[in-house]
A and B are shown apart, each in its own frame.
Chain A
């Protein structure tokens, strides 16, 4: 990051390669919308680029960048409010029919999977998405940061601006809420 602050293109490329997919998935899972996540990904990296000189090496870079991502998600959700969930379902069904939108690796793996397993996986993914989107934003972001972004609870607490204990309590409650929502899905596995 320090090299990027100094204007190094190579350093930017390295950071971009390391974080773009992770952040895209964080945004996609937070919003439940890949198209909106791509728009926000652009906004996010441009914001990081503009704010790079204010970055202090005393803070972990991952904490800094996820804090920016989290603020973007909150701003986007504040704008759209309840419309997000409706858009997700519409776009999801559109995406499922569009094979081109599925990444190549996933497509190859899918071709070698039995049809009933594929259906089952899609159903699980859809139910997971619905369950996560039904959580409050606070609960959802803590699951995303701990499960998918693999941040430690001290890093999560720094991103969310709360104590480590509060982050753990919130994570426990989020998991319990997910358990009750995913009751039927567990039977599929």
Chain B
């Protein structure tokens, strides 16, 4: 350790903020350098001397004035504040309307992608109702928007990213569905080799993961700018929302497949979701910092 380095460490040494290793290195230098030793001794003495300026307490009257002013202001605000609503009626109606519109749009896209004839009417109605409920939940989170002013979780970003990704996912299903991709792979030489390695379930797991990961990664990175902290938490919540929204779509496409294939696809979508969204938000946060 040089004399210059010792000078930089003196304030922390006298205030007791150095680690034991740093203290050891500094004291080792002091044993061999008389001028640094004298300087540190004197500055330590000055530091100790400063402790002799006694502390005082503020006057009771001052303390009471501050306390009364703040406490009465808090009480006034509390009584004036309206009862906290989870979601105002107008926003709830918008969430329901938007949720139903998105459900109808999604069902229309899925009808063009997969054959729904194999499903019974109650099963289709139940799936539709579940999908509507999930979409309404996503829009309710969007309209609640309570997390925008410095709160821990920004619900609007989570809902927006989840819904956007769902849109991308439906677009991908319409243009090149997982089922078509698997069929294409089966007839291509490299695809056949892949199938030999991982089997049909493995292929659905892999493609399901890719179909969730890629759009979630892009969308969460794009919206990550609005997430000021806890990107991983935002990513996991967004992944959870997207996974729930995409479940009915996977279910409707898996009607003609075995249970193993369906579960592999669902597992792939889950893995892709929990990897894609946290990664996208984290990468954006890292880029910003």
Residues of A with C-beta under 8 A to B46: 175, 178-179, 182, 186
Residues of A with C-beta under 8 A to B47: 147, 175
Which residues 24-55 in B have Cβ within 8 Å of A in the complex?
42-43, 45-47, 49-55
A 58-90 to B, binary, CB cutoff 8 A, 1 in contact else 0: 100000000000000000000000000000000
- Quick check: which of B59-67, B131-139, B193-201, B276-284 contacts chain A, the rest being far away? B59-67
Is B120 an interface position by the 8 A CB rule? no
Closest residue on chain B to residue A104 by CB atoms: B57
- Contact present for B53 and A146 (CB under 8 Å): no
Residues of A with C-beta under 8 A to B63: 20
Number of A-B residue pairs with CB-CB distance less than 8 Å in the complex they form: 122
- Contact present for A46 and B66 (CB under 8 Å): yes
Is A162 an interface position by the 8 A CB rule? no
Q: How far is the CB of A46 from chain B (nearest CB, A)?
A: 6
- Contact present for B65 and A42 (CB under 8 Å): yes
- Contact present for A53 and B149 (CB under 8 Å): yes
Is B85 an interface position by the 8 A CB rule? no
Is A49 an interface position by the 8 A CB rule? yes
Residues of A with C-beta under 8 A to B62: 38, 41-42
Is A25 an interface position by the 8 A CB rule? yes
- Contact present for A41 and B58 (CB under 8 Å): yes
Interface of B is mostly: helix
Is B229 an interface position by the 8 A CB rule? yes
Q: How far is the CB of B281 from chain A (nearest CB, A)?
A: 16
Is A121 an interface position by the 8 A CB rule? yes
Choice from A28, A42, A129, A175 contacting B14 with Cβ under 8 Å: A175
Is B56 an interface position by the 8 A CB rule? yes
Closest residue on chain B to residue A128 by CB atoms: B53
Q: Contacts A7-B74, A168-B8 given; indicate if A21 touches B50 (C-beta within 8 A).
A: no
A 140-178 to B, binary, CB cutoff 8 A, 1 in contact else 0: 000100111010110000000000010011011001101
Residues of B with C-beta under 8 A to A9: 71, 74-75
Is B90 an interface position by the 8 A CB rule? no
- Contact present for A124 and B49 (CB under 8 Å): yes
B 5-27 to A, binary, CB cutoff 8 A, 1 in contact else 0: 00111111011010000000000
Q: How far is the CB of A127 from chain B (nearest CB, A)?
A: 9
The CA-CA distance from A89 to B228 in the complex, in Å, is 49
B 222-243 to A, binary, CB cutoff 8 A, 1 in contact else 0: 0000001100000000000000
27 pairs, CB–CB < 8 Å, chain A vs chain B: A7-B78, A13-B67, A24-B56, A25-B56, A28-B56, A38-B62, A41-B58, A41-B62, A41-B66, A46-B70, A49-B70, A53-B150, A56-B150, A124-B52, A125-B54, A132-B53, A147-B15, A147-B50, A148-B50, A153-B11, A175-B10, A175-B14, A175-B46, A175-B47, A182-B49, A186-B45, A189-B49
List chain B positions with a Cβ less than 8 A from chain A.
7-12, 14-15, 17, 42-43, 45-47, 49-59, 62-63, 65-67, 69-71, 73-75, 77-78, 81, 149-150, 152, 228-229
- Other contacts beyond A45-B70, A168-B9: 7, CB < 8 A: A20-B66, A24-B57, A49-B70, A125-B53, A128-B52, A143-B50, A189-B45
